[in-house]
Every structure is written in structure tokens, then in C-alpha cells.
Amino acid sequence: MTDGRKTSRSQAWFGAQGRSGMLYRSWMRNQGLGAEVFDGRPVIGIANSASELAPCNAHLTHVAEAVKRGVWQAGGLPLQFPTMATGETLMRPTAMLYRNLMAMEVEELIRANPLDGVVLLSGCDKTTPAMLMGAASVDLPAVMVTGGPMLNGKYRGQDVGSGTHVWKFEEDLKTGRMTEEECFFAEGCMARSNGHCMTMGTASTMACMAEALGMQLPGSAAWPAVDSRRMETAQAAGQRIVRMVEEELRPSQIMTREAFENAVRVNAAIGGSTNAIIHLTAIAGRVGVDLSLQDFDDLVRAVPTLVNLMPSGKYLMEDFCYAGGLPAVMAELLRGELLHREPITVTGRSVAENTENAECFNSDVITALDAPFQPAGTGTAVLRGNLCPDGAVIKQSAASPHLLTHRGPARVFDSPEAYHAVADDPELDIDENTVIVIRNAGPKGYPGMPEVSNVPLPGKLLKAGVKDMVRVCDGRMSGTGYGTVILHVAPEAAAGGPLALVRDGDPVVLDVPNRTLSLDVDEAELARRRQTWRAPAERYTGGYTWLYTQNVEQADRGADFGFLRGSRGHEVPRDSH
Ligand code: FES
Ligand code: MG
């Protein structure tokens, strides 16, 4: 370009002279692109995680078409490219194992190609953080468009929530309230359109986090996947990214410490997934923002839960959308001075400018600060104690109030499978006061830190009418799950955390009001046990899983790879030919 502006990044490719330029342009022209598109206009990558193996993302190619329209309209050149998709429902041993791999792929693809900016299309749980992590580590202008939730599930006239009702149906099946045939029918009713889970599970939560961080357009998290306004917002994002390239508005300017503080508070207000803690921590690590596990407790103490959505409440994402969506929540938090007003967002405007005047259209779905769905201090709590020196997490709103202070004997299982093998044994030596300890489900131990922590209650207790019990685990819980479940225990058992030392019958003391989780066993005894503890043998000697187990950090650090922290920028000094 010769108009005095800085030569764009893509012009290092398409504007090149001689043989190099010919190589870069000629093959692109096989797609029917005219010579004029290489004139220095912003080249916008559309990172598309559509996949039929990740059903929540399967429709993203349609969303990409809308983004493309917007990019063309604004004078950019859109180029769509596929990324891997970490589908929550199918991938074994857990999609979380592959979040970091997807983040690496996104980062490398953006950097290696002639792009000036990127639109990130995500949907299912891990795809949103993976894309934000990757984009943050390149730090080219980026805007996210999540694919939107499915329509509300409907079964026999009732709303059914994806994920949340799987647990309910399972319990109903076990206790004879539902037949196999009814369950089979109901599973279809739970997923009646394109889109991601329509509960406030991890996908909806992370879509809201992307919006709260300022990385997606206001209102964009909530439009159902099949609502035409989803396409409208995607088109607007396509237009906006072209301007962002011109303004050089980068993720590092948007995702500041203040933006993360906003996101943490918004997560509390929406009753969001505990998984957001791990993902936000990992994203923060990529932009060099210091966000500690303790922040997730300290920052939310004054924030009530405003949003009445499953799994904590009764409504679903469609209702949330029609009630005004995230802008209505943020407007209310701004009124209570619970958010920073100034952080800049992808719109080029501040949080306050974007959302201050947003209206709420249904105060039963999005409640007001003076009549909140759940009072302040009942959201996610971060626990410490000799059982979790580096912290553990409990989602109070999904737990039973009477169990938040509890003392009971541990019954220890070395894997979720070990528990499942005996869970329905009528002779099982567990009563409702028992604390079920599931270990070796952490990042290294499983590996990949799966969503297995909220194991169903023992069959005999379910039949006896017991609704909840304390469970302690170094794994995660689905954002759609519920129960008095202590998650993310760090360090994990497989890394030698104290969870590895627990034995059957040890008294476990949970005191959520005082934020403690401890083992009432004296230190000398624990030291003796530690002497005989042996790290589990290495199971992996090669491949990605080996890379993962060697490099994954603990839950309190976001379970990213240590070597992926920080930004590596977008310079590529050497030519390919
Ligand atoms: Fe994909 Fe819930 S399984 S969002
Ligand atoms: Mg999930």
C-alpha cells in the first residue's frame, strides 16, 4: 500500500514482487478471486471449528457465510479455514485433553498465514477457550462469534435442559420413574435444533465470558443458533473485524486485568460453569494477566446470582435471550457498580457504552440486584485446607445448603470406574453422611481432567430418597451438572497432592462458609503415608498424550501447558520459497 498507512501484514505475502508474489497470489486465484482482492485490503481469516463430530459446532459453516458477507461489505477479503473441534459429547477420554492442542493449532494457523485479523467461530465448551487462547498468543485483531445455543428442549410440555436433564433422566430411570423407551424419546426432545447446550453450562457460560471480556459483540452470546439474528450478528462481526484491523485493536488491549475482573463477576451473576474458572485462568495466562484462583472468590463475594437458568435455576438460554441476554445482566451489574466501565471491547467502545442502556424484558429470568435469584456470596467458592493446598472449587448454587458444612467419613475410589463398578451394589458400605472421594481424575491423572466429579449417588441411597451427598474430586464437573461436589482439587492425586493420601474412614471436614476443606488426620500420620506414596507409573511414552501429561499445569493454573503461556506475537520473518 502506498497511501501512507503501514503496509498490512498480508501484503508481505500478496504484495510481494516477482516469483514469491506470484506463488502467493496465483494459487489463491484458483478459487476465482480476482486480482483486485490483493490490493492491500485487510485479509480476514475465519477460523471455523465446524465438525459433524462436534455437533454443537456443526452449523458454523452457515455462520461463516454470514461473516464473509460482512467482511466483503466492509472492504476486506475473507478466507475461511477449518480448525479442529473439541466436541464435548464424543471425544474420549475427554475433550479437555485436546483444548490445548486446539489452542496450539489455532495459534499456529493464524500466525503462519497471510492474515491481518481473524474471526473465531466456536460453540461447544472447549472450542471457545481454545480459540481465545490461540488468538491471544498471536495478538492479531480478533473477534469471536459463538454459534449460539440450541432451542429450549421440550419434553411432554416441559422445558428440558441439555446436560442437566441427562442427570435427571438417569436418576428417574434408576428409581423407576421413567422407562428406557421414555428416555430414548426424551433424548431427542433435548436436542431439537443446531447449537450448543442451552443450559447455562460451559458453552453458554464461555460464550458469555467471551462477551463479558469484550471479545464478542454485545448480545451475541445468547441468540439461538437458528435465530436469524445469529446470522445478523455474525455479519456485523465480519464488518467490524475489518475496522478493527484498521484501528489495530488487539486482544491484548481488550483482555486486560479489568476485563477479566468483569468476566469473573459476570460469571457469578449468570450462575456460570465452574469450568470458566479454568478456562479464564488459561486465557489470562496467554495475555500475561495475573488472575489467581483466589480472585474467583474475592471478586464475586458482592455479586448475587441474577440469572435464573439451569442447572442452578429453571429457565434456558432461549428465555435468557428474550429477556435481554448478557447486556441486560451487565447493565444491572453496572448500576450496582460491580463492573469496570472502561474496558475497551471489539466494538471499539467501552463496556459501559455497549451495555449501560440495555433493558431487561423478563425480571424472572434476569433478576434485579435488589431482588436477586440468589443472594451475593452463594456463587462459586474457592476452598483451601490440608486436602487442597492449592485450592478447590465448589459451585454453591448447584449444591445443597445443608451440606455446605459437613463432616463425614471418606470412602475413597482410585478412579471413577472403581466407584461406578460398585455404585449400585445394595450392600455398599456408604450412607448419606459418607464423603465420596474420587481421585486420579485430574489433568495428569486421567489424563485431561474430565467431567466425572459429580458421580451419581449410590443406587440404594437414591432409592431411599437421598438427593445429594458430598463428593470430592480432582476432576471437573459438567457446567450442566449439580450437587455438593468439590472440584478441581489441587494438586491432584496423581501429582502427589494430599488427595492421594486419604484412606477410607478418614474424617473429611467441609466448611464452605469459612472456605475450608480438610482431612481431620494428624500431620504426622499424613507424613507417614506420604513416605509410602508412589507416583503412578507413566502410561504414555509418545504422542500427544505424552506431551500433555509432561507439560500440563494444575487446575489452579488453568491446566494449560507451561510452554504455551504468554503471547508469541505474529511476526514470521522468513519466507517459504
Ligand atoms: Fe457441546 Fe454442551 S455438549 S455445548
Ligand atoms: Mg460440558
Cα of 87 from ligand 1 centre, angstroms: 7
Question: Is ligand 1 within 6 A of the CB of residue 85?
Answer: no
Task: Tell which one of 56, 187, 273 to mutate to probe ligand 1, the residue whose CB is within 8 A of the most ligand atoms.
Answer: 56
Q: 393: helix, coil or strand? A: strand
Question: Is ligand 1 within 6 A of the CB of residue 125?
Answer: yes
Any idea which ligand is nearest the CA of 96?
2
Contact 465, 175 (CB under 8 A): no
Cα of 165 from ligand 2 centre, angstroms: 13
- Which residue from 385, 390, 438 is spatially nearest to 555, judged by alpha carbons? 390
Our measurement of the distance from residue 258's CA atom to the centroid of its chain's CA atoms, rounded to an integer in Å, reads 19
What span, in angstroms and rounded, lies between the C-alpha atoms of 127 and 139?
18
Predicted local confidence at residue 398, as pLDDT: 85
Burial-class residue 104 by CB neighbours within 10 Å (0-12, 13-18, 19+).
buried
What span, in angstroms and rounded, lies between the C-alpha atoms of 462 and 335?
44
Any idea which ligand is nearest the CA of 162?
1
Task: Work out which ligand 1 atom sits closest to the CA atom of 204.
Answer: 4
Predicted local confidence at residue 576, as pLDDT: 85
Three-class SS of 324-345: CHHHHHHHHHHHCCCCCCCCEC
Cα of 341 from ligand 1 centre, angstroms: 31
Task: Tell which one of 59, 88, 187 to mutate to probe ligand 1, the residue whose CB is within 8 A of the most ligand atoms.
Answer: 88
151 grid coordinates: 432451542
Task: Give bridge partners of residue 382 from the DSSP assignment.
Answer: 393
Cα of 247 from ligand 2 centre, angstroms: 36
Contact 92, 24 (CB under 8 A): no
Task: Work out which ligand 1 atom sits closest to the CA atom of 125.
Answer: 4
Helices (H) and strands (E) in the chain, counts: 20, 14
Task: Work out which ligand 1 atom sits closest to the CA atom of 55.
Answer: 1
- Which residue from 226, 170, 197 is spatially nearest to 87, judged by alpha carbons? 197
Cα of 64 from ligand 1 centre, angstroms: 20
Task: Work out which ligand 1 atom sits closest to the CA atom of 480.
Answer: 2
Predicted local confidence at residue 540, as pLDDT: 95
DSSP output for 431-457: -TT-EEEE-S-STTTTTS--B-SSPPP
Which strand (E) or helix (H) includes residue 511? strand 507-511
Which residue type occupies 528? R
Rg of the chain (C-alpha set): 24
Question: Is ligand 1 within 6 A of the CB of residue 198?
Answer: no
Nearest CA to ligand 1 atom 1: 124
The number of beta carbons lying within 10 Å of the beta carbon of residue 92 is: 8
| 566: region left, alpha or beta (phi > 0 left; psi from -120 to 50 alpha) | left
DSSP output for 260-316: HHHHHHHHHHTT--THHHHHHHHHHHHTT----TTHHHHTTTT--B-B-BTTTSSB-
433 grid coordinates: 453422611
Query: Which value does ipTM take for this structure?
Result: 0.90
Cα of 444 from ligand 1 centre, angstroms: 23
Torsion sign, CA atoms 361, 211, 379, 332: negative
Cα of 131 from ligand 1 centre, angstroms: 16
Question: Is ligand 1 within 6 A of the CB of residue 451?
Answer: no
What span, in angstroms and rounded, lies between the C-alpha atoms of 454 and 448?
16
Which strand (E) or helix (H) includes residue 412? strand 405-413
Our measurement of the distance from residue 359's CA atom to the centroid of its chain's CA atoms, rounded to an integer in Å, reads 26
Cα of 228 from ligand 1 centre, angstroms: 21
Could you give phi then psi for residue 444, rounded to 5 degrees?
-80, -35
Kindly compute the dihedral angle of the four CA atoms of residues 148, 198, 260, 389, in this order, to the nearest 10 degrees: -140
What span, in angstroms and rounded, lies between the C-alpha atoms of 502 and 543?
32
226 grid coordinates: 437458528
- Residues near 516 by beta carbon (within 8 Å), at least 6 away in sequence: 383, 384, 385, 509, 510
Any idea which ligand is nearest the CA of 161?
1
Nearest CA to ligand 1 atom 2: 197
Cα of 25 from ligand 2 centre, angstroms: 42
Cα of 313 from ligand 1 centre, angstroms: 18
Question: Is ligand 1 within 6 A of the CB of residue 56?
Answer: yes
DSSP output for 193-254: SSSB-SSSSHHHHHHHHHHHTTSS-TTTTTS-TTSHHHHHHHHHHHHHHHHHHHHT--HHHH
Question: Is ligand 1 within 6 A of the CB of residue 96?
Answer: no
Q: What own/partner pairs with CB < 8 Å and gap ≥ 24 does 343-346 have?
A: 343/214, 343/254, 343/256, 343/258, 343/259, 343/262, 344/214, 344/249, 344/253, 344/254, 345/214, 345/215, 345/218, 345/254, 346/143, 346/214, 346/215, 346/216, 346/217, 346/237, 346/240, 346/244, 346/249, 346/254
Any idea which ligand is nearest the CA of 53?
1
Cα of 163 from ligand 2 centre, angstroms: 8
What span, in angstroms and rounded, lies between the C-alpha atoms of 205 and 212?
10
Predicted local confidence at residue 377, as pLDDT: 85
Question: Is ligand 1 within 6 A of the CB of residue 88?
Answer: yes
Question: Is ligand 1 within 6 A of the CB of residue 201?
Answer: yes
Task: Tell which one of 49, 124, 317, 478 to mutate to probe ligand 1, the residue whose CB is within 8 A of the most ligand atoms.
Answer: 124
What span, in angstroms and rounded, lies between the C-alpha atoms of 115 and 112?
8
Reply yes or no: is the peptide bond before residue 78 cis, omega within 30 of 0: no
Question: Is ligand 1 within 6 A of the CB of residue 105?
Answer: no
What span, in angstroms and rounded, lies between the C-alpha atoms of 102 and 130?
6
Q: 556: helix, coil or strand? A: helix
Task: Work out which ligand 1 atom sits closest to the CA atom of 57.
Answer: 1
The number of beta carbons lying within 10 Å of the beta carbon of residue 425 is: 12
What span, in angstroms and rounded, lies between the C-alpha atoms of 270 and 288?
26
Task: Give bridge partners of residue 352 from the DSSP assignment.
Answer: none
Predicted local confidence at residue 1, as pLDDT: 39
Nearest CA to ligand 1 atom 3: 88
Any idea which ligand is nearest the CA of 204?
1
Question: What's the pLDDT tens digit per position in 517-565?
Answer: 999 999 999 999 999 999 988 899 999 999 999 999 999 999 999 999 9
Question: Is ligand 1 within 6 A of the CB of residue 126?
Answer: no
- Residues near 136 by beta carbon (within 8 Å), at least 6 away in sequence: 251, 252, 255, 283, 286, 287, 567
Query: Which residues of the chain are under the pLDDT cut of 70?
Result: 1-6
